[in-house]
Structure 1
Amino acid sequence: MIQKADISQIDQILAVTNACANHMKNLGIFQWNENYPNAETFINDIEHEELYVYISEKMIVGCIVISTKMDEVYKSVNWLTPTSNHYYIHRLAVHPNQQGKGIARSLMDFAENLAIKNKIVSIRLDTFSQNSRNQKFYEARGYTRLGDIYFPNQSELPFYCYELPLPLKAS
């Protein structure tokens, strides 16, 4: 079940993302660290009603942020569609002991279906250049890799931007 997150779920959400950060570190992927993502970031996501959680057996096992706000760093990217009405995906995470069960796919299906329902032009996101699993995941879903951006507080290495233009359905 996917639902909007609430403030009482912060500890569970952080448990998922901390487990993901440690799992990635063990794989040599230094995408997330002690500074990011953090409680303050998730509280902001909840206040903006942009954070969704995936619940299985009464436990949060995954999360995704679906935002309409374009971060400043994205302005340098040569996007496929004119910037106007987009969703930006951030902080997609699935607890390592739940990976491989289709949860990330379900979270992205949810985001894409919500976007189509709300007549969103495209979905934009970034993923760490050293995370080839994520790159394959998005490319298999039809996302096109575009420019590189940098988050110096996370890594000196680039993050790759992706976009998926969506079909606009008539009402």
Structure 2
Amino acid sequence: MSKKEEQFHFRRAELDDQETIWEILQQAIKRRKEDGSTQWQDGYPNPETIENDIKKNYGFVLTSDQHIVGYAAVIFDVEPAYEVIEGKWLSDGKYIVVHRVAVSTEAAGMGIATHIFKEIEKVATSENVFSIKVDTNFDNIPMLKILDKLGYKYCGEVHFRESARKAFEKLLN
């Protein structure tokens, strides 16, 4: 394990983390806007979203030297928006859903989101779940590149919050 990887820790978010997570999400919302993306430009996610993630044990943070540098919601429940897809999922069994991946401004461009996804894969396999499903806006180029690099396969479109979104799945072996 490299020195860089040793400093990271992926853990469930706690209510005490909520303010920092919200700051990171606000930074990510701003970056999406600066990139010309329409994703997250309508009041979602918001502080209540984060609080609900944490209370439902969906919220996870990636820390570096005790500082939160990234966030993701990792959901073990069925995602209702994924029940109807214009296309076809790779599998029909149990899966984990990933939503709200965000990286702090100071850590942006350092591979943090990629590291988060790799940690989520470890969480999934530790729970005997071998499928991860995720969606993103058609104009979220950084996330589309990460999903491609990590081997996620495009499966079609789902509708989430009244918008068409690109849907991806990765099967873990």
Fold in common (TM above 0.5): yes
Aligned equivalent of 2:131: 122
> How many residues were matched structurally?
163
- Cα deviation for residue 133 of structure 1 reads 1.9
- Cα deviation for residue 109 of structure 1 reads 0.8
TM-score, normalised by the number of residues in structure 2:
0.87
- Cα deviation for residue 65 of structure 1 reads 1.1
Aligned equivalent of 1:108: 117
Rounded Cα–Cα distance in structure 2 between residues aligned with 1:132 and 1:46: 27
Rounded Cα–Cα distance in structure 1 between residues aligned with 2:125 and 2:80: 25
The answer to whether structure 1 residue 91 and structure 2 residue 97 are counterparts is no
1:134-163: per-residue Cα shift (whole Å, max 9, x none)?
11210111110011123346xx5x310000
Letter of the structure 2 residue corresponding to residue 129 of structure 1: F
Aligned equivalent of 1:31: 39
The answer to whether structure 1 residue 136 and structure 2 residue 108 are counterparts is no
- Cα deviation for residue 18 of structure 1 reads 0.4
RMSD: 1.5
Runs of 5+ consecutive residues of structure 1 not aligned to the other structure: none
**1:150 aligned counterpart, secondary structure:** strand
- Cα deviation for residue 127 of structure 1 reads 1.0
Residue identity (%): 27
Aligned equivalent of 1:50: 58
Rounded Cα–Cα distance in structure 2 between residues aligned with 1:3 and 1:30: 29
Letter of the structure 1 residue corresponding to residue 89 of structure 2: W
Structure 1 ranges of 4+ moved more than 6 A: none
Rounded Cα–Cα distance in structure 2 between residues aligned with 1:10 and 1:166: 30
